Structure 1
Amino acid sequence: MVKRTIRCNARDPERGSGTVLALGLVTVAVALFAGILALSQAAVMASKAATAADLAALAAADAARGLVAGEPCSVAEGVAARNDARITSCRVLAGDTVEVATEFSQPFALGVAAGRARAGPPP
């Protein structure tokens, strides 16, 4: 029986390069996945902030027209709070038009998303 020994020769410089290549590819794939996940979360947060601003502006415009009891900006704050957003500015303009800006933040998020809306009676 012949005994064979495996030796690492200096003549085989590419030995183990497949492992390094595989680790590099996995690292790139994880980084791409993290980037796509962050962009997706930003898009969802922006959509939620815009929806909260729209609903708050519509509720405030209804309050300004007298269709709902209460002061327009406090009604807008209540609607925004039910949508996990907070009002950053609220203005009642001429003609019972209301302009509302909201911020939406989520735990473990990359930042804060902002939404802005204007609502009122048709011209």
Structure 2
Amino acid sequence: MHARWRRSSRAAADDGAATVLAAVMIAVLLAVTVAAGYLGAAVIARHRAQAAADLSALAAAGRVADGPAAACAHASTVSESMRAHLRSCRVDELDVVVAVEVTIALGRFGVGPAAAVARAGP
């Protein structure tokens, strides 16, 4: 009777294998989730930077008649209101070219910039 209930040596060697596999799968899933979160933050920051650049360029283009300094000052005001930093502003005849930067907080990986450039004119 005892032989029927005895485990084979092969079954005893597999004890805990499913637990280890589940732990590895959970760790991989967690790593993928964290990476997707960081990627999402970077994409959102890039879109914010592009929106800030577009609106800053449009705002500056509306003030080109007041002079390049007034146009770029207005672009700076608009970009700062969108929590972006105006890197450069250049008036090229009637067009305005604006470069904007938004910082990305990447947790343990530090802080990085998301940059965008926009051009607007009449």
Q: TM-score, normalised by structure 1?
A: 0.81
Q: Which has the higher helix share?
A: 2
Note the residue ranges of structure 1 that are not aligned, 5 or more in a row: 1-8
Alpha-carbon distance in 2 for matches of 1:41, 1:86: 18
Whether the 8 Å contact between 2:41 and 2:104 is mirrored in structure 1 is no
**Which structure 2 residues correspond to residues 10-29 of structure 1 after superposition, within 5 A?**
12-29=12-29
| Structure 1 residue 54: Cα displacement | 0.4
| Structure 1 residue 65: Cα displacement | 2.9
**Which structure 2 residues correspond to residues 8-87 of structure 1 after superposition, within 5 A?**
12-66=12-66, 71-87=70-86
What is the alpha-carbon root mean square deviation over aligned residues? 2.2
- Matched-pair identity in %: 37
Question: Which SS does the other structure have where 1:88 is aligned?
Answer: strand
Note the residue ranges of structure 2 that are not aligned, 5 or more in a row: 1-7
Number of residues paired by the alignment? Answer: 111
- Hey, what does 1:92 align to over in structure 2? 91
Whether the 8 Å contact between 2:91 and 2:97 is mirrored in structure 1 is yes
- Hey, what does 1:118 align to over in structure 2? 119
Question: Which SS does the other structure have where 1:42 is aligned?
Answer: helix
Whether the 8 Å contact between 2:104 and 2:114 is mirrored in structure 1 is no
Partner amino acid for 2:57? A
Alpha-carbon distance in 2 for matches of 1:107, 1:35: 14
Whether the 8 Å contact between 2:42 and 2:104 is mirrored in structure 1 is no
| Structure 1 residue 34: Cα displacement | 1.1
Alpha-carbon distance in 2 for matches of 1:36, 1:108: 12
Q: TM-score, normalised by structure 2?
A: 0.81
